[in-house]
Structure 1
Amino acid sequence: MKKKFFGAVAMAATLALGLTACGSGSDAAATVENGDKKDLKVVVFNGWDEGVAASELWKAILTEEGYNVKLEYADAAPVYSGLSSGDYDVVLDTWLPITHKSYIEEYGDKMVDLGAWNSDAKLTIAVNADAPIDSLEDLAANADKFGNKIIGIEPGAGLTEVTTDDVIPGYGLDKMEYITSSTPAMLSELKTATSKGENIVVTLWRPHWAYDAFPVKDLKDPKGLLGEAEGIHSFSRLDFDKDFPTLDGWLKNFKMDSDTLHSLENVMFNGEKTDDYTEVVKNWIAENQDYVDSLTA
């Protein structure tokens, strides 16, 4: 009986050790060297280039660090709903204090603001860099030098609404033809005009790769009709800092000025269309290695 008892105890102990070993191996596989969890789910706004660029950059960086990064695309409402419920880990493209204010008011107590990584997000009216004017106040008097046209983007865009309701009447631009169609059409017009050395007025916004691709400048908006600049924030789910303490610190310290962002966006979006940015981002990182290294210093 004693032999059977001690044999059973030994077998139980062996089994327990085996299960413990299996558990340790599983835990080890689920973390990276710095102690963070290995699997990370980043949610990205559909069609928001700066968010796509920042997310793809961090995906490349973190993959190199040993993380398993998954990017999921969604519209604003599902993004914040999913982040607040813990379905996503982080989003890098929240504009505050205006654009995403209503979502933060609704879900903010179930998310964590990791801070702004860019503070220059704003709506703009831009012209070619060598245009004869520098302010919206001077546009009406010089409308003929720009063909009496303002080239816009999609009719339903917020930028279009602000331009129609505020900028045009506010600066007396009613006699200029405001042409709206699409963002690609506007960019095509901008590319053609700047390549020919012609004057052009377009509705634009920062950050955008056009600032890196074409010689353009923003017209000053002394009346503030286009609104103030916003910050682009990273937001995480609750307890993100417990599961990703190292990454939490990296993202809280993350900064990217507009020139650097425009450069990344330009190589990603101003060329052959693709859904796989791996090589493009990898090449950009190689040309901006010091900056990229600083993000995880």
Structure 2
Amino acid sequence: MKKHPLNRRIRLATLALAAGTALAAGSAQAQDKGSVHLAYVEWSSEVASTNVVRAVLEQAGYEVEMTSLSAAAMWQAVATGDADAIVAAWLPTTHADYMERVGDEVVDLGVNLDGTKLGLVVPAYSDIDSIAELNDHADSFNNEIIGIDPGAGLMGLTEKVVDAYDLDLALRSGSGATMTAALESAIQNEEDVVVTGWTPHWKFARWDLKYLEDPENVYGGAEQIHTIARQGLEEEMPEAYAILDAFEWTPEQMGEVMLMNQEEDADPYENAKQWVEENQDLVQEWLPES
């Protein structure tokens, strides 16, 4: 069920009134324009992009709330109006099931990042180059594929890969953090390991890795990351909608933020604000002309 428009208007009016009392004389900061709720999935790429969008929306005068959810719940939140938008929709393959279920209830604002890839990843020193070779070397890979959170579209695709190649390796679910920890441990000991992988991701900058070839093309070709908004957002918050619609960057730019987030005691929100401050030429392209 969609949020009641009257409740939303009351909430936004209250926020705007409270913010109005904090305006400093001569400040260029616009009066608070309301609150934008962004949902995201806890992938390093989406942590980076969602925090950057948050920083940009705040620069434009909005308050921003972020909620980390499973991929399925993230899509559902936008469909029901519990979240205003996501910048984390991997299409046309990874999140195809979610788009099929709720596509008529959301608004696709198009691509915010082009040049993604999905697949199984191994250290570059591994003796194998194809998924089809995994069974012959299953023991050296501890008879398992290290995955991420069970609700992720990538995990659903990998289950299909296990079936398509009749693999003798079990797909182990966990999280993005446990996947990279297992990868790091194996590389430190020069052991074989196979993990679910995607580009862009900071692990490719840190270690020498390779994708296993997918002759059955189960993972599909290159994908894009889309921005998805709830119905009614354009009418209720046209400027926020315009910023979300204009947001677009490259894997290299996203990679800069992801690497910042891997530093010890890193704060993804503070890193995003720093990156936004240092890349105002690009950010200004996302902001509506005043």
Q: Same fold (TM over 0.5)?
A: yes
- 3-state SS of 1:220 partner: coil
Distance between the aligned counterparts of 2:157 and 2:74, measured in 1?
25
Native 8 Å contact 2:243 2:287 kept in 1: yes
CA distances 1:36-95 after superposition (whole Å, capped 9, x unpaired): 981132231353443332121111122223222222344556545553454432222223
| Residue of structure 2 equivalent to 1:44 | 39
Structure 1 equivalent of residue 4 of structure 2: none
| Structure 1 pair 127–291 and aligned structure 2 pair: CA distance change class (3 A) | farther
Q: Give, in whole Å, the separation in 2 of the partners of 1:204 and 1:282.
A: 27
In the other structure, the counterpart of 2:103 is 108
Give RMSD over aligned pairs: 4.1
Partner of 2:121: 126
Amino acid at match of 2:225: I
1:235 aligns with 2:224: no
Q: How much does 1:166 deviate?
A: 2.9
- Offset of 1:115 from its aligned partner? 0.6
Whole-Å separation in 1 of the counterparts to 2:224 and 2:36: 23
1:281 counterpart (245, 269, 272): 272
Give, in angstroms, the shift of residue 227 of structure 1.
3.4
Helix, strand or coil at the partner of 2:55: helix
- 1:221 deviation in Å? 1.4
Give the superposition deviation at 1:249: 3.4
Contact 1:131 1:199 in 2 (8 A): yes
Counterpart contact for 2:122–2:210, Cα < 8 Å? yes
Structure 2 spans left out of the alignment, 5+ residues:
1-15, 22-27
CA drift at 1:224: 0.5
- Structure 1 segments unaligned to the other structure (5+ residues): 1-24
Quote the residue 2:83 is aligned against.
Answer: 88
TM-score by length of 2: 0.69
How do 1:13-24 and structure 2 match up within 5 A?
Answer: none
**1:92 alignment partner AA:** V
Counterparts of residues 161-176 of structure 1 (less than 5 Å): 162-163=157-158, 165-167=160-162, 170=165, 174=168
**1:223-274 deviation per Cα after TM superposition (whole angstroms, max 9, x unaligned):** 2023344332212233433344344333333223333323323332x34567
Asked if the contact 1:43/1:79 (under 8 Å) is kept, the reply is: no
Q: CA deviation at 1:98?
A: 4.0
In structure 2, the CA distance between the partners of 1:168 and 1:259, relative to structure 1 (3 Å rule), is farther
What do residues 105-133 of structure 1 show as CA deviations (whole Å, max 9, x unaligned)? 45434432111212444431112235455
Q: Secondary structure at the match of 1:70?
A: strand
The structural deviation recorded for 1:148 is: 6.6
Q: Which of these residues, 52, 60, 64, is aligned with residue 65 of structure 1?
A: 60
2:235 is the counterpart of 1:256: no
SS in 2 for 1:115: strand
- The superposition leaves residues 5-49 of structure 1 with CA deviations (integer Å, 9 ceiling, x where unpaired) of xxxxxxxxxxxxxxxxxxxx96x959xx89998113223135344
Asked whether the equivalents of residues 153 and 180 of structure 1 are also in contact (C-alpha less than 8 Å), the reply is yes
- When residues 68 and 162 of structure 1 are mapped into structure 2, their CA distance, relative to the original with a 3 A threshold, is closer
Q: Kindly provide the amino acid, as one letter, of the partner of residue 192 in structure 1.
A: S
1:15 corresponds to:
none
The 1:146/1:262 distance shift into structure 2, 3 A limit, reads: farther
Structure 1 residues 36 and 248 mapped into 2: Cα distance closer, same or farther (>3 Å)?
farther
Q: 1:282 to 1:197 in 2, by over 3 A?
A: farther
1:206 pairs with 2:215: no
Distance change in 2, residues 1:239/1:189 (3 Å) = closer
Quick one: structure 1 residues 197 and 91, their matched pair in 2 at CA, closer, same or farther if it must change by over 3 Å? Answer: same
After TM superposition, list the pairs within 5 Å mapping 1:182-221 onto structure 2.
182-183=174-175, 184-195=177-188, 200-221=193-214
Ranges of 4+ aligned residues in structure 1 off by more than 6 Å: 33-37
> CA contact under 8 A between 2:107 and 2:228: conserved in structure 1?
yes
1:114 partner SS? strand
Residues of 2 paired with 1:55 and 1:129: CA distance? Answer: 31
Give the Cα separation in 2 of the matches to 1:39 and 1:84. Answer: 20
Alignment correspondent of 2:217: 224
- Which amino acid in the other structure matches residue 245 of structure 1? P
**Conserved in 2, the CA contact under 8 Å of 1:194 and 1:215?**
no
| TM-score normalised by length of structure 1 | 0.67
What one-letter code is carried by the residue in structure 2 that aligns with 1:262?
A: G
